[in-house]
Structure 1
């Protein structure tokens, strides 16, 4: 039986320390801030990132270099026969496509890149699922197939606290941002598959939370066989607002009795585009094998 390693990137929310504890390798995502290179959870913490964002620093995301990926893969392959690599969604970054190209050209049969359109806590769950399947003795191809079967069975709903960073990144027009700010709108976005789309507009935080909880309830009813089936994971994420996030976790768990919500900071690659103060909730179908 092949010894299979699971690798993901820091967009999953899995820290370097947590990765060591879980037996999952984590590629740190690179950032350029005011012309200087940083790597998530190596020389850039969540707190430092949002401090720089608040200072209106010039922040841009990047993808792991081919050399850094190959260096990690080569190191891991000294101890393992094969690798399952689960990067962030190809719809949100070019890192997945680059990894696919490197794997097919240099590591055929050794490295399997999974493009199952995940980010943050949903990407984390995929890494955990892959590790469980590897430990259970499934082959690398079987693990890939199971993850890809579940590809579209996940949604993320995110409520923004500010439109400033969407405007700064050119994702909405200055006029739309100004109008939204004037009306104090709390946009709710959705990530399903490879797209980040507008989902709803709320006038208050309470209304935005209600919209997200109702969206999850609709997914449970229409996609996951109802509450009694329980064939899903509910998780949450946030950007630089832990106290509000803990209150959000409590509210979600009250809305879905019997379901404990895992909570992580939202990926910095997403956080840099939506800013601090955001809250998110996700639902993901369980993988059965």
Structure 2
């Protein structure tokens, strides 16, 4: 059977044990803090990022260089992989997909590059689905199909204390950002078509978190489902949401609770609370 290797990027926020167990490789994106370029996951922590944002320091992000991805593909090919499936965050957020396409042209083995339209564990669940197919001896096409199906079935919702970070980073339109700030409302957002869209406007933070719980529980339904709860500098809020979802979702298979990394955090700001709903 062909050996299909799975690559993703650091914004999948997959737990390290899961990556090791399934042989998934994550290529880091870069966070630029002042004049320092730091790799997500190894050179800058979520806490350091949150502190920098709270001090209003300049923070930007950038894609991996095509050369970094090309080197990753070569190293994987050297281990005996016949084909690589490279799954990445939405091209609406980052040039990582484009960099992977460029790098794939230089790879010594075929590389299937996929824009999942996802981010965070929505992307992570896609990588896990592809890896499970590869482990069963499936082809690259079957692994891609599994990832794309998982992406199509997955929903992502999140709350932020302010839309300013998303506006500054160009991840949400100025009109939508103004809609939130002008009326002093708390925004609930969703990932739709690979883009961030305003879902609902709620008057208080506590009501927004309660409404997020309701939306996630309704979306999860009663079938088998995996859920991820993400946060940035809001561990108590995230732990409470995770606890409530364990009580409310009868078909819950796995629940992942984690702080997002610096790349996503740079665009959402401290106080982020998100949930990914991914039916099996």
Please confirm whether the aligned pair reaches a TM-score higher than 0.5, indicating the same fold: yes
Distance 2:136 2:185 in 1: 47
Q: Does 2:7 match 1:7? A: yes
The CA deviation at 1:121 is: 0.9
Aligned position for 2:267: 273
Q: Does 2:30 match 1:37? A: no
Query: Structure 2: any 5+ residue segments left out of the alignment?
Result: none
Distance 1:282 1:17 in 2: 20
Is the partner of 2:2 in helix, strand or coil? coil
RMSD across aligned positions (CA): 2.5
Distance 1:175 1:3 in 2: 46
Aligned pairs for 1:171-186 (under 5 A) are: 171=172, 173=174, 180=180, 184-186=184-186
Contact kept? 2:157, 2:275, Cα under 8 Å: yes
Aligned position for 1:255: 248
Contact kept? 1:83, 1:112, Cα under 8 Å: yes
Aligned position for 2:194: 194
Aligned position for 2:23: 23
TM-score using structure 1 length: 0.86
Aligned position for 2:141: 141
Q: Does 2:238 match 1:245? A: yes
Query: Structure 1: any 5+ residue segments left out of the alignment?
Result: 221-225
TM-score using structure 2 length: 0.89
Distance 2:176 2:208 in 1: 22
Aligned pairs for 1:103-182 (under 5 A) are: 103=104, 105-107=105-107, 110-169=110-169, 171=172, 173=174, 180=180
Aligned position for 2:215: 215
How many residues were matched structurally?
277
